[in-house]
Amino acid sequence: MSIKRIPQVVIQRLPRYYRYLGDLLSRGITRISSGELSRRMGVTASQIRQDLNHFGGFGQQGYGYNVETLYVEIGKILGQDQEYRVIIIGAGNLGHAVANYTNYKKQGYRVMALFDSNKELVGKVVQDSRIYSIEDLPEYLREHRTDIAVLTIPKDGALDVVETLVEGGIQAIWNFASVDIPLPNSQVVVENVHLSDGLRVLTYRLKELREQKEHLQERGL
């Protein structure tokens, strides 16, 4: 049986749906139409229907969507009904920030350990997770089932660490190192995150906003 391929752009929108639905649930809203959800999210109702139809739809004509049902089903699609064991490579500021974000634990991501090359950090604890020497990484992976590795290290040496992770059986890497990591093989998934990219998009929009304001001022508007 062939596996249905879902467009990547649809997958990238699902976490946003999940987040908005979770907020609706917290407000006690039990039902919502695609039109109302589109107004809240700033996307078209047809976009929402098309996205959800990839997974069966979930809505009912004249009723809309049951918020809790849709939240649970999208959670299952995103794998939120499972628990994941996570390690963090790099116990600096960013590594600490990821480890200290308590919502990850609520969402099923358990940070089991951190690794760093700074010997002064080894042995310390961050949110109940111990910091190990990076030299201990191969042995740790042999002895502990680990689902996801988070890279919060400089780009120098990042690819060597990835090689160690893949050899140790890691199948998912969340990469914050400032270098894109190519897929080592078809059995490993990588999500490359460049924080500066979002900042550059923001400064472009700020520049555009200021230019529009200057243009209006020049026209005396």
Domain ranges of the chain: 8-77, 84-196
Q: Is the pLDDT of residue 25 over 70?
A: yes
Q: What are phi and psi of 147, to 5 degrees?
A: -95, -40
Reported as a pLDDT band with limits 50, 70 and 90, residue 59 is: low
Tokens read off for 24: 């609706």
Class of the domain covering 8-77: mainly alpha
Q: Which residues partner with 191 through β-bridges?
A: 174
Mean pLDDT for the stretch of residues 197-209: 93
SS3 label, residue 29: coil
The pLDDT of residue 124: 95
84-196: which CATH number, 3.40.50.620, 3.30.540.10, 2.60.200.20, 3.40.50.720? Answer: 3.40.50.720
Tell me how far apart the alpha carbons of residues 16 and 18 are, in angstroms, rounded to a whole number: 5
Mean pLDDT for the stretch of residues 75-87: 93
The one-letter code for the residue type at 181 is I
Q: Is the pLDDT of residue 99 over 70?
A: yes
Where helices occur in 42-193 by DSSP H, the ranges are 45-53, 67-77, 93-100, 103-106, 137-143, 158-167
The pLDDT of residue 221: 66
The pLDDT of residue 1: 37
DSSP 64: B
Reported as a pLDDT band with limits 50, 70 and 90, residue 151 is: very high
Tell me how far apart the alpha carbons of residues 89 and 153 are, in angstroms, rounded to a whole number: 7
Mean pLDDT for the stretch of residues 92-107: 88
Q: What is the pTM of this model?
A: 0.84
Q: Is the pLDDT of residue 2 over 50?
A: no
Mean pLDDT for the stretch of residues 114-138: 95
CB 64 within 8 A of CB 31: yes
Q: In terms of DSSP bridges, do strands 109-116 and 125-126 run parallel, antiparallel, or are they unpaired?
A: unpaired
Tell me how far apart the alpha carbons of residues 8 and 111 are, in angstroms, rounded to a whole number: 27
Listed range (45-54, 81-90, 108-117) with the worst mean pLDDT:
45-54
Tell me how far apart the alpha carbons of residues 38 and 20 are, in angstroms, rounded to a whole number: 11
